[in-house]
Structure 1
Amino acid sequence: MKINRSGSAVWSGGLKDGKGTISTQSGALDAHPYGFATRFEDVPGSNPEELIAAAHASCFTMALSMILGEAGFTAEKMETNGVVTLEKREDGFAITASKLTLKASIPGIDDDRFQELAAKAKANCPVSKLLNADIGLDAELLG
């Protein structure tokens, strides 16, 4: 099975004075603004790094839900935050890390098993496999 999903970007102008929009196939983003200031300064709008962070967090959380189910567990709630790091280097900018922070309430699981299954999800979610960065994970079992 092969599934294709798409997103697009439109850009006009130079790097610092230009403006762009980001759209997704689903319509979740429809001509959402982005630009130099939304990426490198604190101006409202989107940027590629936050989209990657959201994609990684959502993919990981779904993968963990599947892995938990296979192990006989069902989460009451899982909240995952993703943080993608963009750094300036001598050869230009690079995304150097993606860090996931998970807080989960899962009845009947002990922390050792939880950590094992969370690590398995981190290693095997499709977005983790895509990223060629240091992927960190902090997982906290609540309750």
Structure 2
Amino acid sequence: MKFTRRANANWKGTGMEGKGTISTQSTTLDNAQLSFKTRFDQGVGTNPEELIAAAHSGCFTMQLSFLLSEAGFIPEDLNTEAKVTFEEGTITLIQLILKGSVPGITADAFEKTAQKAKEICPVSKLLNAEITLSVELLA
């Protein structure tokens, strides 16, 4: 299966005083606010690190549910918090914190299945992806 999803970011002004928006193809985010304040302080809007945390926790949790189902277990509840740490201009750590209720599975089997989900989750493998760039300067 192959598909492409889209998102768009727009920014006006300097990094500190400027403002931007981000929208997704599904319109779940529709001109959501971006700013220096929403990224490095507090404010209404989102930021790249929060979006990465959302994408990673969602992808990992869905991948885990597939693996558990393949092994014959039906999860009652899987809850994953992703914490993205940004320091000195770099994302240095992503912590996935999983809590789940899966009838009939042992703690060891749950741990092993979760580790496999982390390894094969497409977002977990993201940093190994090819990144291309197309540039056009508008007059």
Q: Does 1:110 align with 2:110?
A: no
Structure 1 partner of 2:131: none
Name the CA distance, whole Å, in 2 between partners of 1:15 and 1:74: 47
Q: Secondary structure at the match of 1:59?
A: helix
Structure 2 partner of 1:13: 13
Structure 1 partner of 2:46: 46
Residues 61-94 of structure 1: per-residue CA shift (max 9 Å, x gap): 0000010011110100111111111111xxxx11
* Post-superposition offset of 1:44: 2.2
* Post-superposition offset of 1:125: 0.4
TM-score normalized by the length of structure 2: 0.89
Percent identity of the aligned residues?
55
One-letter identity of the residue aligned with 1:124: I
Structure 1 partner of 2:95: 99
TM-score normalized by the length of structure 1: 0.87
One-letter identity of the residue aligned with 2:90: A
Structure 1 partner of 2:135: none
Poorly superposed stretches of 4+, deviation over 2 Å: none
Q: Secondary structure at the match of 1:100?
A: strand
Which stretches in structure 2 are left out of the alignment for 5+ residues? 129-139
Q: Does 1:130 align with 2:126?
A: yes
Name the CA distance, whole Å, in 2 between partners of 1:53 and 1:71: 27
Structure 1 partner of 2:137: none
Q: Does 1:81 align with 2:77?
A: no
Aligned length: 128
Which stretches in structure 1 are left out of the alignment for 5+ residues? 133-143
Name the CA distance, whole Å, in 2 between partners of 1:57 and 1:70: 20
One-letter identity of the residue aligned with 1:38: T
* Post-superposition offset of 1:13: 0.2
Q: Which has the higher contact order (CA 8 A, sep 6+)?
A: 1
The alignment's C-alpha RMSD in Å is: 0.9
